[in-house]
Amino acid sequence: MVKRFPQWQRDDAAHTPRHAADSVRARRLRLSLLLALVLAVPLAGVSGRAAYAADLAPAGASIGGQSVAGMTREEVAAVVTARAADTTVSITVDGQTIESSLEQAGGRVDASALADVLVDGADIAQSTPSAVGDQGGQTPAVSVDAQAVTALAERIDAQVGTPAVNAAIQPTADGDAFEAVAGSDGRGVDLASLTAVVENATVTLTSQSVELALTGTAPAISDAAAEAAASDADALIASEVTLSGAGETLTADAATRASWVGTTVVGGTLKTTLLEESVAAWVDQAAASIELDPISAIDNVDADGNLLEPARPAQEGLEVTNREAVTDGIIAALDAHEPYSGELDTQALTADAEQRVVSSGTDRFAYAAEAGEKWIDINLTDSTITAYEGYQQVHGPVLMNHGGPGNETITGTYQVYLTYAKQDLGCSAGWSYCQRDVAWVTYWQGNYAIHSAPWAKHFGVGSDAGSHGCINLPEEEAHWYYDWADIGTTVVSHY
């Protein structure tokens, strides 16, 4: 929105508000008088009433030194448009010149409205100061965009001056509170003087070349304002935020809450606010920690589509459904300086079923078993473990987790050689982890074992690469394999 000569201009982080010497009323009066002087011309025998009746600009009417006498409103508007496009503002400071188009400098000219003023100009000299301002919502013929003038001033200051630095706030070293950062004074062009130059160029539609001096400029945000903002920010993040969902509890610590705070410049104050996108990102992260993609079932079938055996069981997915409501609730609670405790609502996602065509012969199995021979199939592609006697499935397939990148589960044919009902895993020099009292441990090669993993939230494709190389199972499944497998039972690990 274009505003004419405000005493101050709100700015964001890239703009600094400045205080002009003249009031809004005084600037409107000056603009009106300038326009009146430009347009007040002798009528050379043509009365204002006659000119109006003819709908032509009266004799002697001109703009920017170019005569528009006798022109229609459309012709006058075309001249005004051309003059505005050719008008420039050149400011010289300390020997350096910065040139800007009238539009970039903030001069706003409504060609049609100014054409009307010129064609009806017989009475402009007697008009009130508001004649060129807003009248009943009408667009003013000429005006100056104070924000654009401020931007030009900052462009000049950046090249030849020393921009003032606003005081600000930042998180403390621990990240769980805020502290003020002092600002500093600068040197720049006087905004009131620059505004007057742009006004003159806008009203006369003639290029202006002016030399201006640098003056001292204070930061828009004082150190005291930053101290107050830091205190406001601390109050904003003081309350706890906790979410629950799918049996999990998730808490945003103070440092996380501090990352949600943003600031805006309003006049001479620094306003703290919660950034909705930052809160929403944390809620998304919390939701993702409990969400689960569905795992489709896979059945092995022969070329005619006949079922041979199930290769992978289905598992429903889980989706959080109230992200936006939770985000809004957190913001509302913290704005009110109150704690927030909410629930992530979920819904199940149905898993699909697929068929995989395989050989109908025994060559489809990873191991050539003797009749009735016990063996365990670890399929790292499907993330399943299955118990066989001969070629008959006796348990499974069961979804499992295997080794992740850097800790890949080995492949090959091995035998069970050691079992423990309970054992500490890791927990000694050279190991990067320690899990105490892990139940139902069945070793089949070196440190590779099948065992329970009560710490795992999910099993199967999507969460499978979660171990240090062992085969992780729900406790009841690990117990089953511990009871069933004998020392010497064959274990085949493969993709």
Assess whether 323 and 401 both reside in one domain.
Answer: no
The total number of residues shown for the chain amounts to 495
Does residue 177 lie in a domain region?
no
pLDDT (mean) for 371-383: 97
385 shares a domain with 339: no
Q: How confident is the model at residue 16 (pLDDT cuts 50, 70, 90)?
A: very low
Average pLDDT value over all residues in the chain: 87
| CATH number for position 300 | 3.10.20
Residue 333 maps to a domain: yes
Contact 207, 89 (CB under 8 A): yes
Where a domain ends, among 171, 187, 217?
217
Residue 4 falls within a domain, yes or no? no
Which has the closest alpha carbon to 456: 474, 479, 437?
474
Q: How confident is the model at residue 37 (pLDDT cuts 50, 70, 90)?
A: very low
Domain boundary among 299, 331, 364: 364
Confidence grade of residue 268 (pLDDT, cut at 50, 70, 90): confident
Q: Which of 91-105, 145-159, 319-333, 463-477 has the lowest mean pLDDT?
A: 463-477
Q: Which residues make Cβ contacts (< 8 Å) with residue 53, sequence separation at least 6? A: none
> Do 137 and 201 fall within a single domain?
yes
Strands 384-389 and 392-399: antiparallel
- Same domain? For 145 and 39 the reply is yes
Does residue 143 share a domain with residue 34? yes
pLDDT tens-place string over residues 86-117 = 999 999 999 999 999 999 999 999 999 999 88
Structure token digits, residue 311: 């290769």
> What is the model's pLDDT at position 11?
37
Give start and end residues of each alpha helix (H) in 363-473: none
Is residue 202 in a domain?
A: yes
Angle among Cα 444, 298, 311 to the nearest 5 degrees reads 30
| pLDDT tens digit sequence for 185-201 | 999 999 999 999 999 99
Reported as a pLDDT band with limits 50, 70 and 90, residue 129 is very low
Residues 205 and 104 in one domain: yes
**Residue 459, phi then psi, degrees to nearest 5:** -130, 150
What is the C-alpha to C-alpha distance for residues 485 and 166, in angstroms, rounded to an integer?
72
For 294-305, what is each residue's pLDDT tens digit?
Answer: 999 999 999 999
Q: How far is CA 87 from CA 40, 74, 137, 139, 198, in A?
A: 21, 20, 27, 21, 10
Per the confidence metrics, is the pTM higher than 0.85? no
Question: What share of the chain in percent tops pLDDT 90?
Answer: 74
Residue 37 lies in a domain: yes
How far apart are the C-alpha atoms of 5 and 146, rounded to whole Å? Answer: 6
330 & 444 share domain: no
314 in the same domain as 256: yes
- pLDDT, mean of residues 38-65: 58
Please count the structural domains in the chain.
3
CATH code of 423's domain: 2.40.440.10
| Mean pLDDT of the 450-473 span | 88
Long-range contacts of 386-394 (CB under 8 A, 24+ apart): 387/481, 387/484, 387/485, 391/362, 391/365, 393/309, 393/310, 394/484
| pLDDT of 51 | 43
| Residue-level pLDDT at 120 | 84
Average pLDDT over residues 60-86: 93
Please provide residue 28's backbone torsions phi and psi, each rounded to the nearest 5 degrees: -65, -40
Task: Mark whether 205 and 290 lie in a shared domain.
Answer: no
Which residue, among 287, 288, 286, 226, has the nearest Cα to 256 in the 3D structure? 286
Q: Answer yes or no: is pLDDT of 22 > 90.
A: no
Structure-derived torsion over alpha carbons of residues 386, 392, 395, 399, reported in degrees to the nearest 10 = 30
Q: What pLDDT does 330 receive?
A: 98
Cβ distance 352 to 313 under 8 Å? no
Is there a domain that residue 286 lies in?
yes
The answer to whether 68 touches 47, Cβ cutoff 8 Å, is no
Residue 287 domain-assigned (yes or no): yes
371 has a pLDDT exceeding 90 = yes
Domain that holds residue 424: 368-494
289 in the same domain as 200: no
Residue 397, preceding peptide bond in cis (omega within 30° of 0): yes
Residues 386, 304 within the same domain? no
How would residue 439 be classed by pLDDT, with cut points 50, 70 and 90?
very high
Residue 213: alpha-carbon gap to chain centroid: 41
DSSP structural state of residue 95 = T
CA distance 342 to 348: 20
Domain presence at residue 10: no
